[in-house]
Amino acid sequence: MMIIRFLNALFMSLLMATLMTLVVTAVNTGLEGGLLQRWISAWFIAWPIAFTIAFTFGELVRNLSNCIYKKIRT
């Protein structure tokens, strides 16, 4: 199951870091020239952090979600 946990964290962190850094970079600095370079710079900082958080806390979040779902369902 460790490989599934790793892959889940990898894909979730790639998606979240990519979208969040692109949106935040565009909002903060505008869409004009140099956006790609600014975004990539932000992404290289954000992705390792996002992966570490997703891998470390993914199981806890999944368990919390299951617990809440069970309480709502009953």
Say yes or no to pLDDT of 12 above 90: yes
Answer for the pair 10, 48: CB distance below 8 angstroms, yes or no.
Answer: no
Q: What is the extent of the structural domain holding 34? A: 2-73
pLDDT digits (tens, 9 = 90+) for 42-69: 999 999 999 999 999 999 999 999 999 9
What SS3 class is residue 38?
helix
Q: Model's pTM, two decimal places?
A: 0.85
Predicted confidence band of residue 8 (pLDDT cuts 50, 70, 90): very high
Residue ranges in the chain assigned as alpha helix (H): 2-29, 35-73
The number of folded domains in the chain is: 1
